[in-house]
Amino acid sequence: AQSVAQPEDQVNVAEGNPLTVKCTYSVSGNPYLFWYVQYPNRGLQFLLKYITGDNLVKGSYGFEAEFNKSQTSFHLKKPSALVSDSALYFCAVRELGFQKLVFGTGTRLLVSP
């Protein structure tokens, strides 16, 4: 069965510093991996996805994620955090042949001025 783990409930970072939000996954085949962001009282917004190819994926708002097959990880990164990046971030996985997403429990990112 597919599963996703986001080991940190909350990540705190100062504005201007680099940020990392961690995600590890488990699938039986090749994974499709996604990151979504949720602002208060809003639905989820797509940030980026890994399907195949280059292990470094670039997405919206300056975010990027690195796919590491040996570590089964897909960490979200940004070189310089903004206060406006403060939100809830979800990692999700699905397998080839399936269209259902399995989500992690979410990580709250708090960027302080």
Residues near another protein (CB under 8 A), total: 21
CB of 4 to another protein, least distance (A): 8
Cβ proximity to another protein, 15 vs 64, nearer residue: 64
99 makes contact with another protein (CB under 8 A) = yes
Which residue, among 105, 33, 16, has the nearest Cα to 76 in the 3D structure?
33
Which residue, among 84, 49, 81, 52, has the nearest Cα to 65 in the 3D structure?
49
d(C-alpha 45, C-alpha 94), whole Å: 17
| Identified binder of another protein from the candidate list 19, 65, 78, 104, rule CB under 8 A | 104
Please check whether residue 69 is in contact with residue 58, taking contact to mean a CB–CB distance below 8 angstroms.
no
d(C-alpha 67, C-alpha 51), whole Å: 10
45 makes contact with another protein (CB under 8 A) = yes
* Kind plus residue range of the DSSP H or E element containing 36: strand 31-38
44 makes contact with another protein (CB under 8 A) = yes
Cβ proximity to another protein, 50 vs 81, nearer residue: 50
Residues lying near another protein in the complex (CB under 8 A) are found at 6, 32, 34, 36, 41-46, 49, 51, 90, 99-106
